[in-house]
Protein backbone atom coordinates (compact mmCIF):
# COMPACT_ATOMS: atom_id res chain seq x y z
CA UNK A 1 0.00 0.00 0.00
CA UNK A 2 1.44 3.30 -1.01
CA UNK A 3 0.87 6.59 0.74
CA UNK A 4 1.49 9.10 -1.99
CA UNK A 5 2.46 12.50 -0.66
CA UNK A 6 3.31 14.93 -3.40
CA UNK A 7 5.29 17.78 -1.84
CA UNK A 8 6.90 20.62 -3.71
CA UNK A 9 10.11 20.74 -1.74
CA UNK A 10 10.90 24.36 -2.51
CA UNK A 11 7.99 25.39 -0.30
CA UNK A 12 8.90 26.97 3.01
CA UNK A 13 7.29 24.32 5.21
CA UNK A 14 8.32 21.29 3.17
CA UNK A 15 11.07 20.26 5.59
CA UNK A 16 8.60 20.39 8.48
CA UNK A 17 6.14 18.22 6.57
CA UNK A 18 8.86 15.75 5.67
CA UNK A 19 10.21 15.59 9.22
CA UNK A 20 6.74 14.92 10.57
CA UNK A 21 6.00 12.18 8.04
CA UNK A 22 9.20 10.27 8.73
CA UNK A 23 9.36 11.05 12.43
CA UNK A 24 5.75 10.05 13.10
CA UNK A 25 4.76 7.41 10.55
CA UNK A 26 1.25 5.98 10.89
CA UNK A 27 0.94 2.41 12.05
CA UNK A 28 0.56 0.18 9.02
CA UNK A 29 0.77 -3.50 8.21
CA UNK A 30 2.24 -2.62 4.82
CA UNK A 31 5.32 -0.67 3.73
CA UNK A 32 4.50 3.00 3.14
CA UNK A 33 6.12 4.75 0.19
CA UNK A 34 6.23 8.54 0.29
CA UNK A 35 6.49 9.94 -3.21
CA UNK A 36 7.82 13.48 -3.46
CA UNK A 37 7.32 15.59 -6.56
CA UNK A 38 10.56 17.47 -7.13
CA UNK A 39 10.51 20.32 -9.67
CA UNK A 40 14.26 20.86 -9.89
CA UNK A 41 17.63 19.82 -8.52
CA UNK A 42 17.32 22.19 -5.58
CA UNK A 43 14.12 20.45 -4.56
CA UNK A 44 15.87 17.08 -4.40
CA UNK A 45 18.81 18.56 -2.52
CA UNK A 46 16.39 19.97 0.06
CA UNK A 47 14.75 16.57 0.34
CA UNK A 48 18.07 14.84 0.93
CA UNK A 49 19.11 17.34 3.57
CA UNK A 50 15.85 16.84 5.41
CA UNK A 51 16.07 13.07 5.03
CA UNK A 52 19.62 12.94 6.40
CA UNK A 53 18.54 14.86 9.51
CA UNK A 54 15.56 12.66 10.39
CA UNK A 55 15.60 9.51 12.48
CA UNK A 56 12.26 7.85 11.75
CA UNK A 57 10.37 6.86 14.86
CA UNK A 58 8.65 3.50 15.20
CA UNK A 59 4.91 3.81 14.81
CA UNK A 60 2.77 3.37 17.88
CA UNK A 61 -0.41 1.35 17.99
CA UNK A 62 -2.38 4.38 19.13
CA UNK A 63 -1.69 5.99 15.76
CA UNK A 64 -4.27 3.64 14.32
CA UNK A 65 -7.69 5.02 13.55
CA UNK A 66 -9.81 6.06 16.50
CA UNK A 67 -13.45 5.80 15.37
CA UNK A 68 -14.38 8.54 17.83
CA UNK A 69 -11.78 10.98 16.49
CA UNK A 70 -13.13 12.97 13.50
CA UNK A 71 -9.59 14.02 12.54
CA UNK A 72 -8.62 10.54 11.41
CA UNK A 73 -9.91 8.69 8.34
CA UNK A 74 -11.83 5.43 8.48
CA UNK A 75 -9.32 2.67 9.04
CA UNK A 76 -9.00 0.60 5.86
CA UNK A 77 -7.57 -2.25 7.90
CA UNK A 78 -7.05 -3.48 11.40
CA UNK A 79 -4.89 -6.31 12.75
CA UNK A 80 -8.02 -8.31 13.51
CA UNK A 81 -10.07 -7.60 10.40
CA UNK A 82 -7.87 -7.01 7.39
CA UNK A 83 -7.23 -9.71 4.88
CA UNK A 84 -4.08 -9.14 2.94
CA UNK A 85 -3.26 -10.45 -0.50
CA UNK A 86 0.14 -10.52 -2.13
CA UNK A 87 0.29 -8.38 -5.27
CA UNK A 88 -0.65 -10.48 -8.26
CA UNK A 89 -0.59 -9.79 -11.99
CA UNK A 90 -3.90 -8.89 -13.51
CA UNK A 91 -3.48 -11.60 -16.12
CA UNK A 92 -2.57 -15.25 -15.83
CA UNK A 93 0.98 -16.40 -16.53
CA UNK A 94 -0.22 -18.78 -19.24
CA UNK A 95 -1.97 -16.31 -21.50
CA UNK A 96 -1.25 -12.58 -21.21
CA UNK A 97 -4.66 -11.82 -22.71
CA UNK A 98 -6.63 -14.03 -20.29
CA UNK A 99 -8.09 -12.65 -17.08
CA UNK A 100 -8.10 -14.82 -13.94
CA UNK A 101 -11.48 -16.22 -12.97
CA UNK A 102 -11.52 -14.82 -9.43
CA UNK A 103 -13.77 -11.78 -9.25
CA UNK A 104 -13.42 -10.94 -5.59
CA UNK A 105 -10.30 -8.85 -5.95
CA UNK A 106 -8.48 -10.99 -3.37
CA UNK A 107 -6.27 -13.98 -3.91
CA UNK A 108 -5.32 -16.45 -1.16
CA UNK A 109 -6.06 -14.03 1.69
CA UNK A 110 -4.06 -14.49 4.86
CA UNK A 111 -4.21 -12.84 8.24
CA UNK A 112 -1.36 -10.34 8.68
CA UNK A 113 0.84 -10.35 11.71
CA UNK A 114 -0.32 -7.66 14.16
CA UNK A 115 3.26 -6.96 15.14
CA UNK A 116 4.31 -5.99 11.61
CA UNK A 117 6.41 -2.83 11.73
CA UNK A 118 5.92 0.08 9.40
CA UNK A 119 8.68 0.41 6.82
CA UNK A 120 8.82 3.81 5.15
CA UNK A 121 10.38 4.22 1.75
CA UNK A 122 11.10 7.31 -0.29
CA UNK A 123 10.80 7.79 -4.02
CA UNK A 124 10.62 10.90 -6.15
CA UNK A 125 8.68 12.00 -9.18
CA UNK A 126 9.82 14.31 -11.96
CA UNK A 127 7.75 15.74 -14.77
CA UNK A 128 7.86 17.16 -18.24
CA UNK A 129 5.25 17.76 -20.92
CA UNK A 130 4.42 16.58 -24.41
CA UNK A 131 3.86 20.10 -25.79
CA UNK A 132 6.00 23.21 -25.69
CA UNK A 133 3.09 25.45 -24.71
CA UNK A 134 2.19 23.40 -21.64
CA UNK A 135 5.82 23.00 -20.62
CA UNK A 136 6.26 26.76 -20.73
CA UNK A 137 3.06 27.38 -18.74
CA UNK A 138 3.72 24.69 -16.15
CA UNK A 139 7.49 24.92 -15.60
CA UNK A 140 8.50 28.10 -17.47
CA UNK A 141 10.92 26.24 -19.71
CA UNK A 142 11.04 24.32 -22.97
CA UNK A 143 10.73 20.54 -23.21
CA UNK A 144 14.47 20.26 -23.87
CA UNK A 145 15.24 22.40 -20.82
CA UNK A 146 12.90 20.36 -18.65
CA UNK A 147 14.58 17.12 -19.76
CA UNK A 148 17.99 18.60 -18.92
CA UNK A 149 16.69 19.42 -15.44
CA UNK A 150 15.32 15.91 -15.11
CA UNK A 151 18.65 14.38 -16.06
CA UNK A 152 20.43 16.17 -13.20
CA UNK A 153 17.74 15.13 -10.73
CA UNK A 154 17.85 11.49 -11.83
CA UNK A 155 21.63 11.35 -11.56
CA UNK A 156 21.57 12.58 -7.97
CA UNK A 157 18.66 10.33 -7.01
CA UNK A 158 20.38 7.26 -8.44
CA UNK A 159 23.56 8.07 -6.53
CA UNK A 160 21.43 7.74 -3.38
CA UNK A 161 19.49 4.66 -4.57
CA UNK A 162 16.20 6.57 -4.69
CA UNK A 163 13.63 5.26 -7.19
CA UNK A 164 12.45 7.81 -9.75
CA UNK A 165 9.10 8.04 -11.50
CA UNK A 166 8.65 10.27 -14.53
CA UNK A 167 5.50 11.94 -15.84
CA UNK A 168 4.75 13.10 -19.37
CA UNK A 169 1.88 15.57 -19.06
CA UNK A 170 -0.77 16.34 -21.72
CA UNK A 171 0.06 13.19 -23.69
CA UNK A 172 -3.46 12.97 -25.10
CA UNK A 173 -4.48 16.59 -25.32
CA UNK A 174 -3.17 20.04 -24.43
CA UNK A 175 -5.24 23.04 -23.25
CA UNK A 176 -3.09 25.31 -25.45
CA UNK A 177 -2.28 23.19 -28.52
CA UNK A 178 -5.44 21.09 -28.68
CA UNK A 179 -6.23 17.37 -28.57
CA UNK A 180 -3.97 16.22 -31.38
CA UNK A 181 -0.68 15.75 -29.55
CA UNK A 182 1.74 13.77 -31.72
CA UNK A 183 2.19 10.23 -30.33
CA UNK A 184 5.74 10.23 -31.71
CA UNK A 185 6.56 13.24 -29.52
CA UNK A 186 5.26 11.42 -26.44
CA UNK A 187 7.28 8.33 -27.34
CA UNK A 188 10.47 10.34 -27.83
CA UNK A 189 10.11 12.07 -24.47
CA UNK A 190 9.24 8.81 -22.70
CA UNK A 191 12.29 7.12 -24.19
CA UNK A 192 14.50 10.02 -23.09
CA UNK A 193 13.30 9.67 -19.50
CA UNK A 194 13.89 5.92 -19.46
CA UNK A 195 17.33 6.30 -21.02
CA UNK A 196 18.42 8.70 -18.27
CA UNK A 197 17.50 6.10 -15.64
CA UNK A 198 13.87 6.76 -14.70
CA UNK A 199 12.34 3.56 -13.31
CA UNK A 200 8.82 4.09 -14.64
CA UNK A 201 7.09 6.68 -16.81
CA UNK A 202 3.47 7.62 -16.25
CA UNK A 203 1.96 8.82 -19.52
CA UNK A 204 -0.66 11.35 -18.47
CA UNK A 205 -3.91 12.48 -20.01
CA UNK A 206 -3.79 15.61 -17.88
CA UNK A 207 -6.77 17.31 -19.51
CA UNK A 208 -8.97 14.23 -19.89
CA UNK A 209 -9.20 14.79 -23.66
CA UNK A 210 -8.07 11.25 -24.44
CA UNK A 211 -10.35 8.89 -26.33
CA UNK A 212 -10.16 5.14 -26.85
CA UNK A 213 -8.88 5.32 -30.46
CA UNK A 214 -6.21 7.92 -29.65
CA UNK A 215 -5.17 6.03 -26.51
CA UNK A 216 -4.76 2.89 -28.60
CA UNK A 217 -2.73 4.76 -31.23
CA UNK A 218 -0.47 6.24 -28.57
CA UNK A 219 0.18 2.86 -26.97
CA UNK A 220 0.97 1.32 -30.35
CA UNK A 221 3.44 4.14 -31.04
CA UNK A 222 5.12 3.64 -27.67
CA UNK A 223 5.47 -0.08 -28.38
CA UNK A 224 6.84 0.59 -31.86
CA UNK A 225 9.46 2.84 -30.26
CA UNK A 226 10.69 -0.12 -28.23
CA UNK A 227 9.19 0.99 -24.92
CA UNK A 228 8.13 -1.99 -22.80
CA UNK A 229 4.74 -2.12 -21.12
CA UNK A 230 6.33 -2.83 -17.75
CA UNK A 231 8.12 0.52 -17.92
CA UNK A 232 4.85 2.40 -18.33
CA UNK A 233 1.94 3.58 -16.24
CA UNK A 234 -1.17 5.37 -17.44
CA UNK A 235 -2.63 8.45 -15.77
CA UNK A 236 -6.16 9.38 -16.85
CA UNK A 237 -8.24 12.34 -15.77
CA UNK A 238 -11.98 11.87 -16.10
CA UNK A 239 -12.98 15.29 -17.46
CA UNK A 240 -15.03 13.87 -20.32
CA UNK A 241 -15.96 10.58 -18.65
CA UNK A 242 -13.48 8.56 -20.72
CA UNK A 243 -11.01 7.49 -18.05
CA UNK A 244 -12.42 4.00 -17.49
CA UNK A 245 -12.79 3.40 -21.22
CA UNK A 246 -9.18 4.41 -21.78
CA UNK A 247 -8.10 2.24 -18.86
CA UNK A 248 -9.66 -0.82 -20.48
CA UNK A 249 -7.82 0.05 -23.71
CA UNK A 250 -4.61 0.13 -21.70
CA UNK A 251 -5.41 -3.21 -20.08
CA UNK A 252 -6.03 -4.80 -23.47
CA UNK A 253 -2.67 -3.45 -24.64
CA UNK A 254 -0.92 -5.03 -21.63
CA UNK A 255 -0.43 -2.06 -19.29
CA UNK A 256 -0.75 -3.08 -15.65
CA UNK A 257 -0.07 0.14 -13.71
CA UNK A 258 -2.69 2.89 -13.48
CA UNK A 259 -2.79 6.06 -11.40
CA UNK A 260 -5.96 6.94 -9.51
CA UNK A 261 -7.20 8.99 -6.57
CA UNK A 262 -9.86 8.29 -3.95
CA UNK A 263 -13.03 10.19 -4.61
CA UNK A 264 -11.62 11.38 -7.94
CA UNK A 265 -9.47 14.04 -6.28
CA UNK A 266 -7.23 16.23 -8.41
CA UNK A 267 -7.39 18.55 -11.37
CA UNK A 268 -5.17 20.79 -13.48
CA UNK A 269 -4.90 24.55 -12.90
CA UNK A 270 -3.86 25.15 -16.51
CA UNK A 271 -6.80 23.31 -18.07
CA UNK A 272 -10.20 24.91 -17.50
CA UNK A 273 -12.77 22.37 -16.44
CA UNK A 274 -10.28 19.53 -15.96
CA UNK A 275 -11.46 17.17 -13.26
CA UNK A 276 -9.44 14.84 -11.07
CA UNK A 277 -7.94 11.47 -11.74
CA UNK A 278 -10.05 8.42 -12.31
CA UNK A 279 -11.51 7.54 -8.91
CA UNK A 280 -9.77 4.64 -7.20
CA UNK A 281 -13.15 3.20 -6.27
CA UNK A 282 -14.31 3.24 -9.91
CA UNK A 283 -11.05 1.76 -11.14
CA UNK A 284 -11.00 -1.07 -8.60
CA UNK A 285 -14.68 -1.89 -9.16
CA UNK A 286 -14.05 -2.09 -12.90
CA UNK A 287 -10.97 -4.27 -12.48
CA UNK A 288 -12.83 -6.67 -10.20
CA UNK A 289 -15.69 -6.88 -12.70
CA UNK A 290 -13.13 -8.01 -15.28
CA UNK A 291 -11.87 -10.77 -12.99
CA UNK A 292 -8.74 -8.99 -11.84
CA UNK A 293 -7.04 -9.71 -8.55
CA UNK A 294 -6.05 -6.44 -6.91
CA UNK A 295 -5.88 -7.12 -3.17
CA UNK A 296 -7.89 -3.93 -2.64
CA UNK A 297 -11.10 -3.85 -0.59
CA UNK A 298 -13.35 -1.50 -2.53
CA UNK A 299 -15.75 -1.10 0.41
CA UNK A 300 -12.94 0.28 2.59
CA UNK A 301 -11.68 2.57 -0.16
CA UNK A 302 -15.18 3.92 -0.68
CA UNK A 303 -15.30 4.90 2.99
CA UNK A 304 -12.01 6.73 2.72
CA UNK A 305 -13.16 8.53 -0.43
CA UNK A 306 -16.29 9.77 1.33
CA UNK A 307 -14.27 10.85 4.38
CA UNK A 308 -11.66 12.87 2.51
CA UNK A 309 -14.29 14.47 0.26
CA UNK A 310 -16.18 15.66 3.33
CA UNK A 311 -12.99 16.94 4.93
CA UNK A 312 -12.18 18.95 1.81
CA UNK A 313 -15.78 20.16 1.52
CA UNK A 314 -16.05 18.90 -2.04
CA UNK A 315 -18.28 16.47 -3.87
CA UNK A 316 -17.37 12.81 -3.96
CA UNK A 317 -16.77 12.18 -7.66
CA UNK A 318 -16.66 8.38 -7.45
CA UNK A 319 -19.83 6.84 -8.82
CA UNK A 320 -18.85 3.35 -7.69
CA UNK A 321 -17.84 4.67 -4.27
CA UNK A 322 -21.21 6.33 -3.69
CA UNK A 323 -23.07 3.25 -4.90
CA UNK A 324 -21.02 0.98 -2.63
CA UNK A 325 -21.70 3.17 0.39
CA UNK A 326 -25.42 3.32 -0.39
CA UNK A 327 -25.50 -0.47 -0.51
CA UNK A 328 -23.58 -0.81 2.74
CA UNK A 329 -25.87 1.61 4.55
CA UNK A 330 -29.19 0.07 3.49
Going by C-alpha positions, the residue among 47, 53, 55, 60 that lies closest to residue 23 is 55
Q: Indicate the DSSP class of residue 64.
A: S
Which residues contact residue 286 at a Cβ distance below 8 angstroms, ignoring those fewer than 6 apart? 244, 247, 248, 320
Q: Which DSSP helix (H) or strand (E) runs through 287?
A: helix 280-289
Catalytic annotation, pick one of 141, 150, 174, 268? 268
Question: For residues 50 and 38, what is the distance between their CA atoms, to the nearest angstrom?
Answer: 14
Do residues 150 and 39 touch, judged by C-beta distance below 8 A?
no
Euclidean distance between the first and the last CA atom of the chain, given in angstroms as a whole number:
29
**Contacts for 267 with CB less than 8 Å, ≥ 6 apart:** 237, 274, 275, 276
Q: Which residues of 247-281 are buried (b: 16+ CB within 10 A; e: fewer)?
A: bebbbebbbbebbbbbbbbbbbebbeebbbbbbbb
Specify the 3-state DSSP secondary structure of 244. Answer: helix
The yes-or-no answer on residue 174 being catalytic is no
Give the C-alpha separation, 76 to 247, whole Å.
25
Catalytic residue set: 268
Amino acid sequence: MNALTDSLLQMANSADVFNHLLGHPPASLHPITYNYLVPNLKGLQNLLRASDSVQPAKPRSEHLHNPHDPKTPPNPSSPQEQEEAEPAPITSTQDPNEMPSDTSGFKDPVKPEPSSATDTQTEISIFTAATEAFSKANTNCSIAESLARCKDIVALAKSRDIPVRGYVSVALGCPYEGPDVAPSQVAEITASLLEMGVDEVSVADTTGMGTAPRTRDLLKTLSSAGIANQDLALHFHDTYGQALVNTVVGLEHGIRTFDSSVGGLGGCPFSKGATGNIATEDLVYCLHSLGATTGVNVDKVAGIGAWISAKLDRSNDSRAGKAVLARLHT
